[in-house]
Structure formats: C-alpha cells, structure tokens
A and B are shown apart, each in its own frame.
Chain A
Amino acid sequence: EVLLVESGGGLVKPGGSLRLLCVASGFSFSNYSLSWVRQAPGKGLEWVSSINGRSDYIYYADSVKGRFTISRDNAKNSLDLQMNSLRAEDTAVYYCARITVAGLRSWGQGTLVTVSS
C-alpha cells in the first residue's frame, strides 16, 4: 500500500520559515516524481512544486518561486519543502503527492501551516 505522511506544519509568524517533511512507503520511491499541493482554508487546490526522481528537474509555482525549496532524499524515502519568507497567504494544508502518468495518484493526509502574528 502506498503511504505518504506529512509532518512539520504549525504556527509561524510572517517572514518566518518552516520545513515540511513527507515520508513515503509502499513503492519504489526513487522511481517517482513527487509534488507538493496546498489548499488554503475553504479554498481550492493549488499546485506548489514538483521534483523528479533524480532531483534534476524541479519546478515551482510563481507564487512560491524564490521562497520555497523542494528537495528529496531517496535513501530515506523522504521529500522536503523548505519554506522561507512566509506570508499570510501561505496559510494552507500542504499535501505531498506521488506523480504518475495518470496525474497525482496518491496523496498524504496533509499538514496545516498557519502564518499569523
């Protein structure tokens, strides 16, 4: 069974930093690209970033480019999202998801990030 478990969310002040972690199991981790997708309270889904298996193709939404950094450790089956210069509009549940030829086939339960003073 594919399992994705996010952690690291919490309350942070505007301008602060936070690092999210997603630990995966149940599939050959290094063979899959992964994404972070977020959902602000009561709002729709917003794709944030993607990374391929070898970390040589990385993409970001314009809304987070220059502030967020995605990375992965294939030895630890883990995906990270380093978030700097956080803003109130970054408040959201952050999901990690496995990318397949069909799209985002597997999702974690999400971790809540709240940016507030």
Chain B
Amino acid sequence: DIVMTQSPDSLAVSVGERATINCKSSQSVFYSSNNRNYLSWYQQKPGQPPKLLIFWASTRESGVPDRFSGSGSGTDFTLTISSLQAEDVAVYYCQQFYSTLYTFGQGTKLEIK
C-alpha cells in the first residue's frame, strides 16, 4: 500500500499569515501517461464530512477560494493557504488515488495563533 505522511501534525498560524502543509507518499503518484499526479487535498471542519479542495495536486475545486493552492509532483506535495482566514480552521488531509487502494495522510490540524 502507498503510505501518505503529512507534516506537521498540527499548526497554529495568525490570521492573514501563510500556512503550509506537507504531504509525502511512499511511492510516486504521478501517471506519466496523462501527466497527472493522483493526489487530492481535503478540508474537514468539526462535525462535517470532508470537502475536496485540490485535485491532481494543484487544480482547485470549483468554488474553493484562490488563497488555497497545491503544488508538488511525484512523492512530495504541499498545500498552501496564502492568507489564513478564521474560517480555514479545520483538519486537512491529503489522499492518493494512484493506487486502487486509496490512502489518506494522518491529517494536519490547523488552528489560529
């Protein structure tokens, strides 16, 4: 199975500042046949199901604010929130769907400093 490891486990950032979350996969999730990384990012707020934010490592889902961005390729990926807002407090997960046995990272809890 592909193991997804996020860092840090938790993060406190001031409103208006940048937040960066990293995700590393145990093997590449890049498909050379279509030049896509099969890596998604999700946001989960308390009591709610997860919400898809970013797919193919860097494509923002419709309706997601442009302060959210994704980058990386192969095995190393980053989710960046350029200017943190209070409503961004949540747990963030990366997930690979390169393998048919989908796996998630352990999650990163983002709080306001």
**List of B residues within 8 angstroms of A46 by Cβ:** 104
B100 pairs with A59, CB closer than 8 A:
yes
> Could you list which residues of chain A lie within 8 angstroms of chain B, going by C-beta atoms?
35, 37, 44-47, 50, 57, 59, 61-62, 95, 99, 101-105, 107-110
Give the distance to chain A from B28, nearest Cβ to Cβ, in Å.
Answer: 17
Q: Decide if B97 is an interface residue (CB 8 Å cutoff).
A: yes
B104 pairs with A44, CB closer than 8 A:
yes
Give the distance to chain B from A93, nearest Cβ to Cβ, in Å.
Answer: 9
Contact among B49, B61, B101 with A102 in the assembled complex (CB-CB below 8 Å) = B61
A103 pairs with B49, CB closer than 8 A:
no
Interface size class, chain B:
20 to 34
A104 pairs with B59, CB closer than 8 A:
no
The prevalent SS among residues of A at the interface is: strand
List CB contacts (< 8 Å) of B58-72 with chain A.
Answer: 59, 61
Give the distance to chain B from A3, nearest Cβ to Cβ, in Å.
Answer: 12
**List of B residues within 8 angstroms of A103 by Cβ:** 38, 40, 42, 52, 55, 95, 97
- Ranked 6 nearest A-B pairs via Cβ: A103-B40, A102-B55, A107-B49, A47-B102, A44-B107, A45-B104
Give the distance to chain A from B54, nearest Cβ to Cβ, in Å.
Answer: 9
CB nearest neighbor in B for A109: B49
List CB contacts (< 8 Å) of B69-113 with chain A.
Answer: 91, 93, 95, 97, 100-107
A103 vs B103: C-alpha distance when bound (angstroms): 11
**List of A residues within 8 angstroms of B93 by Cβ:** 44-45
A44 vs B93: C-alpha distance when bound (angstroms): 8
Q: List 23 A-B contacts (CB under 8 A).
A: A44-B91, A44-B106, A45-B93, A46-B104, A47-B95, A47-B101, A47-B102, A50-B102, A57-B100, A61-B101, A95-B49, A95-B50, A102-B56, A102-B59, A103-B95, A104-B40, A104-B42, A104-B50, A104-B95, A104-B102, A105-B52, A105-B61, A107-B49
